[in-house]
Structure 1
């Protein structure tokens, strides 16, 4: 039985790395993406006794997913929704949980497939839904730039890796209707995931 399982694993590995895994154009194809990785948020400012102090943030996990559609041989449209939660060390107040939900609308330029690898660059608009536990934080709009690569293991299935930077304005942090700080929405993310194309 162990030999049969071993042979099945070897056969599956060979099947995933043979010519059927050649990259193909995604023109006219719809795909779904799931991703997981790390986010590095930037520091903001917080008021204590009417004096502004920088606050520190910690890198943490980011996860999410979305859809991609091939417009033509090189261009694709993408919508992604990701969520990251991270610790915010407020001066004289203690640690609080910060959160950014990013609804990302963008486009990709995908370089012509070479073997199994398809590198791409992208840019777009980001709706940033921000939160800081115990406070009210404004929703803001930012922009992003990204670069990544898809590695096709089967014609409809690719592994993906991406680095992305989001640049957004600082959002007001309010407590009882009074602004007490500015929440930084700029962040850098590095994610890995899977894309599956339906047609």
Structure 2
């Protein structure tokens, strides 16, 4: 019986892996409407007065997410053990549970949760306390997402079992480790970036020509000879219009899936920092961008971290924070056209798109 159930458990894990390979284009982490498949292995601890050895447990759970936080799961576990007696008679336990789960931080890779539910346990074999008894359970666990649709999972539950005598409570414990596969569900849409601010216009003050001098009164004619007429006065030419001062700050680039500054980026930022110090009236908008690899909502958050990393560097270098603003565009404004594949994440196009761009707003 033990080998039969172990082969069934291994088959479920292989089936889940195959299904996960065909669902790689779905959305990531906890999501509304997703169905989960949860193969698991762990340990089951019986209370001492039940006279049953603690042993391994195998199980499978199927769940449904009502939203990003709340989900329901149905779980089945099997325990193949023996009684605590000189004869060591075979004992089998079958555990059925229906649980409610609440997930914290559903958008992150590490998702803790709490759970509680009802169910029943059936014990067969060489012990006095056999049959099916109702139970309550509560506990907590963690999920860590390895991909958009697959996570490793750890879970521990306290089982409060209403014993067959009707007037005693058995306290059992089950702890499991396994995998969670997600299928379907609604993908969150990334918020549309705000339209770019209009380019600043340089206002050139109007220069008016100097007024012509008032005409001099004509002299009274002399009795001998009339005075010569005055020569006309030519007004001076207007001064040339001032030339607009153009300032360009160099873009910096990042490694794949990183928001930390490289040595090359820091070298360019030192030059940009000095330019801002030389022009104290200049304000700058820092634009964060990402390449097209990965989900849109993740790339939007990644580009925001890149923009804020650059802002922090400039502020630490002595630029006032009120001269700086940030905006994140994710993968919506690629510098070069890019078709993402697993093999071209370090292509010239992808490297060019993982950047921070500086927009000079006022000089």
Q: What is the number of residues matched between the two proteins?
A: 158
Aligned partners of 1:146 and 1:117: how far apart in 2? 17
TM-score between the two structures when normalised by the length of structure 2:
0.40
The alpha-carbon deviation at position 58 of structure 1 amounts to 2.3
Instruction: Show CA shifts across 1:140-198 (max 9, x none).
Output: 110001210010001111110011111102225xxxxxxxxx99753111111011111
The structure 2 residue matched to 1:78, chosen from 63, 70, 73, is 73
Instruction: Report which of the two structures shows the higher radius of gyration computed on alpha carbons.
Output: 2
Do structure 1's residue 41 and structure 2's residue 46 form an aligned pair?
Answer: yes
2:121 corresponds to which residue? 128
Unaligned runs of 5+ residues in structure 2 are 1-24, 185-363
Aligned partners of 1:76 and 1:26: how far apart in 2? 10
The alpha-carbon deviation at position 109 of structure 1 amounts to 0.7
Unaligned runs of 5+ residues in structure 1 are 1-19, 46-54, 173-181
Aligned partners of 2:98 and 2:108: how far apart in 1? 28
Aligned partners of 1:88 and 1:135: how far apart in 2? 10
> Where in structure 2 are the equivalents of 1:13-162 lying within 5 Å?
24-44=29-49, 55=51, 57-90=52-85, 94-113=87-106, 115-133=108-126, 137-162=130-155
In 2, are the aligned partners of 1:42 and 1:184 still within 8 Å (CA)?
A: no
Aligned partners of 1:41 and 1:118: how far apart in 2? 29
Structure number having the greater helix percentage: 2
> Where in structure 2 are the equivalents of 1:178-193 lying within 5 Å?
186-193=171-178
Helix, strand or coil: the match of 1:44? Answer: helix
Helix, strand or coil: the match of 2:74? Answer: strand
Helix, strand or coil: the match of 2:84? Answer: strand
Aligned partners of 1:197 and 1:24: how far apart in 2? 8
TM-score between the two structures when normalised by the length of structure 1:
0.71
The alpha-carbon deviation at position 138 of structure 1 amounts to 2.0
Which shows bigger deviation, 26-35 or 129-138?
A: 129-138
Structure number having the greater strand percentage: 1
Cα root mean square deviation, aligned: 2.5
In 1, are the aligned partners of 2:71 and 2:100 still within 8 Å (CA)?
A: yes
Aligned partners of 2:28 and 2:145: how far apart in 1? 6
Instruction: Show CA shifts across 1:91-139 (max 9, x none).
Output: xx63222222111001001102363100000000011111123878221
